Amino acid sequence: QVQLAQSGGGLVQPGGSLRLSCAVSGTIVSRNFMAWYRQPPGKERTLVASIRESGFATYADSVKGRFTISRDNAKNTVYLQMNSLKPEDTAVYYCNAQQWPSNTWGQGTQVTVSS
């Protein structure tokens, strides 16, 4: 059974940085399409960043140049480094792992950007 355990997040001032972690069990992270999504209050969940099995990463336009997705194969963990945070980055962030037919979500973690 695939399980994703998220950590990180919290309250940060505009311009600050945070790193989210997603520890994966039950599968090998490098054999999955891994992604981070976010859901602001009252809005839909949207894709923030993804990393393919090949290591190729893609980003939403709103976070390009500020966020970096990465994975540590030895730790079987995926990260989202978030720099230059803005108030509009405030949301619940979710880790996602896809390896057909499995599609697994993390528990979500709150990120609040506010002064």
Per-residue pLDDT tens for 36-58? 999 999 999 999 999 999 999 99
**Alpha carbons 14 and 19: distance in angstroms, whole number:** 15
The count of residues in the chain is 115
| Inter-residue contact 69 to 49 (CB < 8 Å) | yes
Model confidence over 65-74: pLDDT tens digits? Answer: 999 999 999 9
Residue 17 has a pLDDT of 98
Residue 105 has a pLDDT of 97
Spans of the chain, pLDDT less than 50: none
The tokens for 36 are: 């981070």
